Amino acid sequence: MKTVFSPLHNRRTATTELDGGILIAPHEKPSRAETILSRVKQQQLGDVLPPQEFGLAPVLRVHTQDYVDFLRTSWEDWTAEGKPGEAIPAVWPGRGMRHRVPKDIDGRLGYYSFAAETSITEGTWEAACASADVALTAQALVAGGEPAAFALCRPPGHHAHADLFGGYCFFNNAAISAQAFRDQGARRVAVLDVDFHHGNGTQSIFYQRDDVMTISLHGDPDLVFPHFLGFEDETGEGPGEGFNMNLVYPPGTPFGVWRDGLETACRRIEAYQPDALVIALGVDTFEHDPISFFKLTSADYLLMGERLGKLKLPTLFTMEGGYDVDAIGVNVVNVLRGFESAR
Ligand code: OKP
Ligand code: MG
Ligand code: ZN
């Protein structure tokens, strides 16, 4: 399958992540994408293409205009105030407070975020735009008849809501792509999130809709990020009731257990009969991932890919998490090769 990749991912080079009360070097770093790209080439997965530019119209199908404007200007607004470091939110509209957009940049950072680990930096906007273009270019390949394509997105996207950044995510590349499939005539689209973390942004964007089904397998949010969404009783709302599924697992979960959830998810997708499938592909389910607690091995990713391939659906993979950089290339390409072996 073809891979879409942009060197502009490199415009996002944050130096800080708030973790454990100190600022650490971010887990979500440029070498992640470069390592995956090297493995794609070394394993000859297929051609590597640059993205086309789609502009903001397809992004605005999923994100609000005011959020997009905020992201575009936030670094400028931050530096104009003479702030010495990276732009980190530190205040939020808590319970009982007003949900209105303040003028001040500190206020707007809080209004448009749900977490503080993710700093906005010079180049973040450019990288986020390039990441969306990567997803949309791969989506166009699949819409144009390719059986599958790999969008090597960075920064990732699945935590981003219509108007919230956080969890290393700014634009929700999987949601933007799912909406693009719909806008190009797909009747139903399924988004399956196999990243270790709950795809809270994707869930939230489609929660009241039955035309995009969202399913996520993830670590129990009672114990891990994003903490405030992703429980199994969240099944959708209004017309969307029955079209969101969360499959939650405890610390130490091995592939033998996780795979039952994958099977449940795949059967639900088969019953839904979508015209296209988007896989939010994170490999932070890996046994040695530094921030996660599942126990998948590198060989397990081949089996994961095989099951996904058996769905026999036009499939777009968008890159999400995975923080053991030494293994990330092997694990990602194992999913994609496993997928192809089943077709
Ligand atoms: C992004 B993606 C580490 C806390 C990390 C943020 C996790 C974001 C994950 N001590 N909190 O889903 O891989
Ligand atoms: Mg997930
Ligand atoms: Zn993750």
In this prediction the pTM is: 0.99
Range 37-57 average pLDDT: 98
Q: Which helix (H) or strand (E) holds 309?
A: helix 298-309
Nearest CA to 214 out of 162, 289, 274 is that of: 274
- Whole-number Å distance between alpha carbons of 103 and 48: 43
Helices (runs of H) and strands (runs of E) counted in the chain? 9, 10
Please tell me the distance between residue 117's alpha carbon and the centre of ligand 1 in angstroms: 8
Percent of the chain whose pLDDT exceeds 70 = 100
Q: Which ligand is nearest to the CA of 202?
A: 2
Buried b (16+ CB within 10 A) or exposed e, 86-98: bbbbeeeeeeeee
pLDDT digits (tens, 9 = 90+) for 123-179: 999 999 999 999 999 999 999 999 999 999 999 999 999 999 999 999 999 999 999
Judge if the beta carbon of residue 329 lies within 6 A of ligand 1: no
Range 265-288 average pLDDT: 99
Choose which residue among 22, 27, 169, 279 to substitute to test ligand 1 binding: the one with the highest number of ligand atoms within 8 A of its C-beta: 27
Mean pLDDT of the chain: 98
pLDDT digits (tens, 9 = 90+) for 173-208: 999 999 999 999 999 999 999 999 999 999 999 999
Judge if the beta carbon of residue 225 lies within 6 A of ligand 1: yes
Nearest CA to 332 out of 289, 293, 290, 292 is that of: 289
| Residue 52 pLDDT | 98
Q: Which atom of ligand 1 is nearest to the CA of 282?
A: 13
| Residue 62 pLDDT | 98
DSSP 222: T
3-state secondary structure of 306: helix
- Kindly report the protein residue whose alpha carbon is nearest to atom 1 of ligand 1: 167
Range 279-305 average pLDDT: 99
Q: Which atom of ligand 1 is nearest to the CA of 199?
A: 12
| Residue 40 pLDDT | 99
| Residue 267 pLDDT | 99
Q: How confident is the model at residue 37 (pLDDT cuts 50, 70, 90)?
A: very high
- Kindly report the protein residue whose alpha carbon is nearest to atom 7 of ligand 1: 167
Please tell me the distance between residue 322's alpha carbon and the centre of ligand 3 in angstroms: 6
Residue owning tokens 């470069």: 34
Please tell me the distance between residue 285's alpha carbon and the centre of ligand 1 in angstroms: 12
Nearest CA to 139 out of 173, 100, 190 is that of: 173
- Whole-number Å distance between alpha carbons of 152 and 302: 18
- Kindly report the protein residue whose alpha carbon is nearest to atom 9 of ligand 1: 167
- Whole-number Å distance between alpha carbons of 180 and 77: 31
| Residue 277 pLDDT | 99
| Residue 284 pLDDT | 99
- Whole-number Å distance between alpha carbons of 191 and 174: 7
Q: How confident is the model at residue 22 (pLDDT cuts 50, 70, 90)?
A: very high
- Kindly report the protein residue whose alpha carbon is nearest to atom 8 of ligand 1: 167
| Residue 73 pLDDT | 98
Q: Which residues belong to the active site?
A: 159
Q: Strand 189-193's sheet: what is its strand order?
A: 48-49, 2-4, 148-151, 315-319, 276-281, 189-193, 212-219, 244-249
Judge if the beta carbon of residue 165 lies within 6 A of ligand 1: no
Judge if the beta carbon of residue 230 lies within 6 A of ligand 1: no
Judge if the beta carbon of residue 320 lies within 6 A of ligand 1: yes
Please tell me the distance between residue 93's alpha carbon and the centre of ligand 3 in angstroms: 25
Range 16-36 average pLDDT: 98
Q: How confident is the model at residue 315 (pLDDT cuts 50, 70, 90)?
A: very high
Please tell me the distance between residue 238's alpha carbon and the centre of ligand 1 in angstroms: 30
Q: Where are the beta strands (DSSP E) in 143-185?
A: 148-151
